[in-house]
Structure 1
Amino acid sequence: MKNPISKWILGGLLLLFVGQALALEWRDSPALTQVFAQAGVPGTFVLYDVERDLLLGHDRTRAQTRYVPASTFKIAHSLIGLATGAVSSVDEVFAYDGKPRFLKSWERDMGLREAIKLSNVPVYQELARRIGLARMREQLAPLGFGNGQVGEVVDQFWLRGPLVISAVEQTQFLARLAQGRLPLSSAIQAQVRQISQLEQGDGWTLYGKTGWATSVKPGIGWWVGWLERDGRLYSFALNMPMEDLADANKRVELGKASLHALGLL
């Protein structure tokens, strides 16, 4: 039987994270509203300016609404896998079982370093089975990732629920990871930051992860991450309706347009 004291403590932590997110100052950004209007796409983009402790965004209601995280959970999932020892490093190879996959690029052996870039669902499902429900619940709650709910199916909860998270909560989780402030070893956090890196330029580095929740209608497309620029840190999260794989590029395109509109990229 689960320790009732531990359950109470974990529940208290989740309420604390939610309260902190709701207490942050929010400012509507006309520049972001114009980006979405020009694209003709409903959705939200929220930027957390860590230095100013300020949220800038478009569509506050949607930004505070929780959705299934889909593959954006791979960032937290990698942390948990390393913390539990279910995987020895981001380069430990997961063997391909020979079965047809949704994407041909998934049909080979690979470690988390490559699997997170290709959003390889079967690799992370195998990792989840290695971790198991008990350890997944124990490790997830202190991270402050959405509602922290794992349910009873260890290899589906981030794809179909009950795990849900808002765009605002995504920015808070990612800001803590970017600063090395999660309750995990600095080495583990550094490994996951490294495999989350997307691009680098003069004075800036961009990190992020896409996601596509197909278990809900309409589907939800995600792009979340953080930007380190000129010694300052900005975490961000975008979500939008997404019904077809052909719309996949719109997530990053709209997200980068939003960062550009804010003068950050």
Structure 2
Amino acid sequence: MRFLFSLIFITFFVLSPSLVFALSWQESPELKPLFTELGIKEGTFVLYDVNENILKGYNKKRAETRFIPGSTYKIPNALIGLSVGAVKNVDEVLPYGGQPQPIKAWEHDMSLRDAIKMSNVPIYQELARRIGLINMWKLLDKLNFGNDEVLKPLMHRRKGLGVVAIDRFWLDGPLKISAVEQVEFLKRLALGELPVDKEIQQSVREILKLEQGENWALFGKTGAVDKYNPSLGWWVGWVEKEGRVYIFALNIDMLDNTYFERRISLGKNCLKKLGVLP
């Protein structure tokens, strides 16, 4: 029995990506003033230098804490949708549903390419409904994105019936992921190592490109979650620079709407301070 337990433990240790990714952490105290300068009291920034195989950043405890991913989930959502044929490609136009939206720019049918740029929630909700519960569940587990949880029973006020929020689980939970897990996932995407067709990974990388300059390119996706008080803001992505790859993930507490822009400003400042962006 003791041998069997040891074998199970060793097998789990070897196969569990979260344990395999237990890299050493290098605290970067020079990042803390960047948070203070922008009036951000609570947050974390993680940089994974793929070449050096080390994690650098600020606030390790928070970096290892799982939060709801918000619109950063549009990345695995797109990968899964393309993999199961819910859309033909990133340029196929999806309907937004015709309902009033909190952001007027979302009230248009559009492709995954265009929708990801403005973080159009209803377009990616339509994608999730087309994917379906079983496909979402199976492929999300293969991608190893955070806790991999899709199902959340929502109790009907009168009847007590459970329903499945296939188009809300990344906005309300139960899906959660830490900043450290974000960089682990994005590292595999950036290097084309996910268990997904290579062409699909390339298509998703392409629609995530934000900026580029001489010998460098920046890829990323924002996210916001209003289920926390205060709200949570994400910015995750990677930088390709002179043949090297740097993966990053940031999350902060957002006290008001001005913090939406502060996420990106802070992230870029951190990347510059660490010598990743010019």
TM-score bracket, shorter-length normalisation: over 0.9
Aligned to 1:157: 169
User: Quick check: 2:220–2:237 contact (8 Å CA) kept in 1?
Assistant: yes
1:244 is matched with which residue: 213, 231, 256? Answer: 256
SS of aligned partner of 1:147: coil
C-alpha distance in 2 between matches for 1:236 and 1:218: 23
C-alpha distance in 2 between matches for 1:179 and 1:220: 28
Instruction: Tell me by how many angstroms 1:40 deviates.
Output: 3.1
Deviation track 1:116-168 (CA, whole Å, cap 9, x = no partner) reads: 11100001111111111111010001111100000131101000000000000
Instruction: Tell me by how many angstroms 1:15 deviates.
Output: 7.3
Aligned to 2:238: 226
Instruction: Tell me by how many angstroms 1:39 deviates.
Output: 2.6
TM-score with structure 2 length normalisation?
0.88
Distance 1:96 1:133, change over 3 A: closer
C-alpha distance in 2 between matches for 1:85 and 1:101: 27
C-alpha distance in 2 between matches for 1:96 and 1:26: 42
C-alpha distance in 1 between matches for 2:145 and 2:274: 26
Distance 1:67 1:54, change over 3 A: same
1:127 aligns with 2:127: yes
TM-score with structure 1 length normalisation?
0.92
Instruction: Tell me by how many angstroms 1:98 deviates.
Output: 2.8
User: Quick check: 1:14–1:148 contact (8 Å CA) kept in 2?
Assistant: no
Mean CA deviation greater in 52-61 or 23-32 = 23-32
Aligned partner letter, 1:29: S
Instruction: Tell me by how many angstroms 1:107 deviates.
Output: 1.2
User: Quick check: 1:13–1:141 contact (8 Å CA) kept in 2?
Assistant: no
User: Quick check: 1:94–1:111 contact (8 Å CA) kept in 2?
Assistant: yes
Quote the RMSD (CA, aligned, Å). 1.6
Deviation track 1:76-107 (CA, whole Å, cap 9, x = no partner) reads: 11000000111111011012433211111111
Aligned to 1:110: 110
C-alpha distance in 1 between matches for 2:15 and 2:46: 21
C-alpha distance in 1 between matches for 2:207 and 2:111: 11
**Identity fraction in percent:** 53
Mean CA deviation greater in 135-144 or 93-102 = 93-102
- Structure 2, gaps ≥5 residues long: 1-11, 152-163
Aligned to 1:50: 50
Aligned to 1:9: none
Instruction: Tell me by how many angstroms 1:14 deviates.
Output: 11
User: Quick check: 1:14–1:144 contact (8 Å CA) kept in 2?
Assistant: no
Aligned to 1:29: 28
Query: Equivalences for 1:71-110 in 2 at 5 Å?
Result: 71-110=71-110
Deviation track 1:161-186 (CA, whole Å, cap 9, x = no partner) reads: 00000000000100100000000110
Aligned partner letter, 1:102: P
1:40 aligns with 2:52: no
C-alpha distance in 1 between matches for 2:27 and 2:211: 27
